[in-house]
């Protein structure tokens, strides 16, 4: 059974999501008696989480003072990809104060990567983005034991298995930290500030180097028994398909992902099937998913076909998941979301044709609104949640 959300957490989250607010309005929105609210508020002001913020506009009677989150609150949000580091420092309202993004190979191992994260955070500090951090949220591209704050058997992260990521960051920065899977933080981000705003049951499908799915049910992330729920990249879509990095054959991500698409694009360039890709291969020596997207936008038939074939395969898997989970929304994000509306049209066509009409009657299948910022946004949400929980004491 779920825990109740205590009042102080509900207050802090409301101030995070809606900004400065009068005491009267706060009591209304939280539906708690005013004396109880005021007592709790006083405690939060004393602990430094909440601050006075001037006078509210009159509601007829005595003017009430506004309260807001302490403007000095700072969260660090980190999104580690297979080949990238994104770091943001945000204020209490999760607005970015500063941000850095750079390429990095996750396979260089936890010490090198987390050391680089520390350097970027040190740079933010010396640039005046913060004096001290209140919490850190970090997403990694593999399964995570959320409770223990460690990656668990992550296939594409050699050296990271059970590395104490949370402990490492907590010790370095003297604040709480929280570790989650990269797709989960994207789903959390999209629910906080994107297209899935306030949707309780939805799937966030990330199509990048690999394919994964963030699952939001009953209004929260569902992580599964071992922290690996949403691992849809290794669902078999063709029993005669190519061998996948996992050792099985015909996995979804062996057929359609950044890596698979680049491979197929190179073949199409070499065989002469696609003039657009052949040209790009000749000029830069390699072709990527981005080249396929550009080729498609120029009307190259082979590029369009590659995207549609991929969309059809992903759509087949999503149709099964819609039958199973009956979600309210499917959000498509990650690097390959740049394939855009051709991809979306194909996915929709398969999902709407294959799933139970009752489940698809009101089911939007849409692109991520936050795009590359979905991950850091979700990491900031997690950081704020863990910081706010400390306010109990």
Residue 124 or 317: which CB sits closer to a second copy?
Answer: 317
222 lines the binding site for a second copy (CB under 8 A): yes
225 lines the binding site for a second copy (CB under 8 A): yes
- Number of chain positions touching a second copy (CB under 8 A): 52
3-state secondary structure 211-247: EEEEEEECCEECCCCCCCCCCHHHCECCCCCCECCCC
- Do 79 and 375 meet the contact criterion of CB atoms below 8 Å apart? yes
Using CB under 8 A, pick the residue from 25, 148, 172, 201 that binds a second copy.
201
**For residue 117, is it left (φ>0), alpha (ψ between -120 and 50) or beta?**
alpha
Residue 4 or 283: which CB sits closer to a second copy?
Answer: 4
Site string for a second copy, 279-318 (x = CB under 8 A): -------------------------------------xx-
Q: What is the DSSP letter of 335?
A: G
By CB under 8 A, the residues from 348 to 387 that bind a second copy are 353-359, 361-363
Residue 125 or 216: which CB sits closer to a second copy?
Answer: 216
Q: Report the Cα–Cα distance between both ends of the chain, in Å, rounded.
A: 24
Q: Which ranges of 229-371 would DSSP assign to H, the alpha helix?
A: 252-255, 258-271, 275-284, 289-297, 301-325, 340-354, 357-360
- Do 255 and 313 meet the contact criterion of CB atoms below 8 Å apart? yes
Q: What is the DSSP letter of 392?
A: T
User: CB-based contacts of 43: which residues, under 8 Å, 6+ apart?
Assistant: 8
Q: How many CA atoms lie within 13 A of 166 on its CB side?
A: 18
By CB under 8 A, the residues from 311 to 330 that bind a second copy are 316-317, 319-321, 323-328
230 lines the binding site for a second copy (CB under 8 A): yes
Shortest separation between residue 362's beta carbon and a second copy, angstroms: 8
Residue 161 or 172: which CB sits closer to a second copy?
Answer: 161
The candidate with the shortest Cα–Cα distance to 185, out of 214, 156, 160, 150, is 214
Q: Is the dihedral of CA 284, 79, 192, 41 positive or negative?
A: negative
Residue 262 or 317: which CB sits closer to a second copy?
Answer: 317
Residue 314: CB atoms within 10 A of its CB come to 27
Residue 99 or 152: which CB sits closer to a second copy?
Answer: 152
CA distances from 377 to 96, 137, 213, 381 (A): 9, 10, 17, 6
Site string for a second copy, 131-150 (x = CB under 8 A): ------------x-------
Using CB under 8 A, pick the residue from 4, 126, 198, 283 that binds a second copy.
4
Shortest separation between residue 19's beta carbon and a second copy, angstroms: 21
156 lines the binding site for a second copy (CB under 8 A): no
Shortest separation between residue 348's beta carbon and a second copy, angstroms: 16
Using CB under 8 A, pick the residue from 70, 115, 153, 245 that binds a second copy.
153
- Any idea what the Cα angle at residue 192 is, between residues 259 and 178, rounded to 5°? 70
Measured distance CA(250)–CA(240) in Å, rounded: 6
338 lines the binding site for a second copy (CB under 8 A): no
217 lines the binding site for a second copy (CB under 8 A): yes
Using CB under 8 A, pick the residue from 33, 48, 158, 224 that binds a second copy.
224
Q: What's phi and psi for 327, nearest 5 deg? A: -80, 170
Shortest separation between residue 246's beta carbon and a second copy, angstroms: 8
Residue 196 or 278: which CB sits closer to a second copy?
Answer: 196
Shortest separation between residue 241's beta carbon and a second copy, angstroms: 13
Shortest separation between residue 210's beta carbon and a second copy, angstroms: 12
Shortest separation between residue 76's beta carbon and a second copy, angstroms: 26
Measured distance CA(345)–CA(59) in Å, rounded: 49
Tokens of 61: 């009677």
Residue 356 or 392: which CB sits closer to a second copy?
Answer: 356
Residues at the site binding a second copy, with contacts judged by CB under 8 A: 1-5, 143, 152-153, 201, 213, 215, 217-220, 222-232, 234-236, 246, 248, 316-317, 319-321, 323-328, 353-359, 361-363
């Amino acid at each position: 059974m779920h825990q109740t959300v205590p009042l102080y957490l509900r207050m802090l989250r409301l101030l995070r999501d809606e900004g400065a607010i009068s005491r009267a309005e706060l009591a209304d929105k939280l539906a708690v008696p005013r004396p109880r609210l005021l007592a709790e508020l006083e405690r939060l002001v004393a602990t430094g989480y909440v601050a006075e913020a001037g006078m509210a506009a009159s509601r007829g009677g005595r003017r009430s003072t506004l309260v807001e989150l302490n403007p000095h609150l700072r969260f660090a949000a980190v999104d580690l990809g297979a080949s990238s580091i994104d770091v943001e420092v945000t204020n209490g309202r999760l607005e970015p104060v500063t941000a850095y993004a750079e390429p990095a190979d996750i396979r260089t191992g936890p010490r090198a990567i987390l050391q680089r994260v520390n350097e970027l955070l040190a740079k933010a500090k010396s640039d005046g983005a913060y004096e001290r951090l209140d919490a850190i949220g970090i997403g990694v591209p593999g399964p995570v034991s959320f409770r223990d704050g460690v990656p668990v058997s992550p296939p594409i992260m050699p050296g990271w298995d059970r590395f104490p990521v949370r402990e490492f960051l907590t010790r370095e920065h003297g604040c709480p930290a929280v570790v989650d899977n990269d797709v989960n933080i994207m789903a959390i981000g999209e629910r906080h500030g994107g297209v899935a705003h306030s949707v309780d049951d939805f799937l966030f499908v990330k199509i990048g180097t690999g394919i994964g799915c963030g699952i939001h049910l009953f209004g929260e992330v569902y992580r599964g028994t071992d922290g690996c729920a949403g691992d849809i990249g290794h669902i078999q879509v063709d029993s005669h398909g190519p061998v996948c990095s996992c050792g099985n054959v015909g996995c979804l991500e062996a057929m359609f992902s950044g890596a698979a698409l680049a491979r197929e694009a190179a073949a199409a360039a070499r065989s002469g099937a696609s003039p657009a890709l052949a040209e790009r291969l000749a000029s830069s020596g390699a072709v990527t998913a981005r080249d396929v997207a550009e080729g498609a936008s120029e009307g190259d038939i082979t590029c369009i076909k590659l995207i549609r074939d991929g969309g059809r395969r992903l759509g087949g898997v999503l149709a099964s998941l819609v039958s199973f989970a009956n979600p309210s929304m499917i959000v498509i994000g990650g690097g390959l979301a740049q394939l855009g509306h051709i991809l979306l049209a194909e996915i929709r066509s398969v999902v709407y044709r294959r799933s139970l009409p009752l489940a698809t009657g009101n089911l939007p299948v849409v692109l991520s609104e936050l795009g590359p910022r979905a991950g850091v946004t979700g990491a900031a949400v997690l950081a704020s949640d863990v910081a706010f929980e400390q306010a109990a004491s």
